[in-house]
Chain A
Amino acid sequence: MNTELKLQALVDGELDAREAREVEALLAQDAQSAALMQELNWTKSALVGNDAELALPETREFFWSKVERAIAIEEKQAAAAPAERAWWLKLLYPATGLAAMVAVMFVVSGGRTTDGADSESVTEDVNAVSFRSESEKMSVVYVADENGNFSPVSEEVKNAPEADK
């Protein structure tokens, strides 16, 4: 910190006791620093209690009506915000369901990857069959009805060509 800023810090009471003594010793020897110190003190004391006093140039009723209206608008927007989130949640739930279904398919298929070959998995307990084709990049799950007839319940095609999207 340079001497000038130390003088100011002394005026503002921001120096510790040791620093304050050092600056006071300097002031006793250096007339220029003492003159600057005096100027800083004059400026500080001129400002004390002399903040401009201004009145808001609008009536109490008019200003309050604006504040009240702005609060109402903000609260309306805040209330609308959760509704927007709910809209996103509506998309989130089916996406989560789909992801769970893919996970089930993966488990049912045994989590195996084949070297380009098709694979089929049958689990008698759940009476479902999954079919996975690496070459076609697709998986199909068949579930048996009460008569034992299998029908596909879901299919997923991975890495579909750009043109098909």
Chain B
Amino acid sequence: MSEPVISIRGLRKSYGDAEAVRGIDLEVERGEVFAFLGPNGAGKTTTVEILEGYRKRSAGEVRVLGEDPEHGDRRWRERIGIVLQSCRLDPYLTVRESLGLYAGYYQAPRPIDETIELVGLGDKADARARSLSGGQQRRLDVGMALIGDPELLFLDEPTTGFDPSARRQAWETIAGLRELGKTVFLTTHYMDEAQRLADRVTIIAKGEIVARGTPEDLGDRESRPARISYREDGREVALETTTPVKTLNELTGRALAEGRELEGLEVARPSLEDVYLELTGQ
């Protein structure tokens, strides 16, 4: 087992009396897309900015690529790429120039044209940043973070405020990173984004981790009660059961014996969205 790319033990961060991060532990393995999911103000950006070396922590152990980000030197910065939550590009530089500018900051940058293709801006290579749509600007953002050919990429809420088609485009770009073998640390407050992109999801709420797992088994969705609902004499009946097969059998057996229908019969597992909202107390 190789050393984790990111490891955090007992991380805390306070701003005055307010504690934004209250003792979290997590590990991110090489090559995975890790989603850090939580509502606004849960402590996501604080955490990611500590990992990126922008903020100092109040307590705890943090290792990113084997180093403490607070003392990350140039060599360490060569190995990470950062897409900030909100960052506008230089409006007067073209896509190729923006990438050229950033390529100059690194010892061994990726080829510029290849990176342009990678983020799907081939037909916009000579367009100035100001003429790009929001989704295209975000993809250029990702390209600029990739230009140094980093091992680890941080994406802080990459699609917040996007319309559905821009989100889809950004998602395709991020999904493509997995094929490059990059480790990706993604923060988001969109359940579907985490579900769509991540190998593993950790949910943070009010500065504490409330759940972790793969998108499929997150929050023990499989073992949670199923909800059965139908209409009887015009009123809604709903019941929750951990043994849906047995309960359903009894219900339908009785209805059959009495010769009536169970109108509007539905059996539902809690959706990821339900689990997420419950866990984050929204």
Are A and B interaction partners?
Answer: no
Q: Which residues of A contact B (CB under 8 A)?
A: none
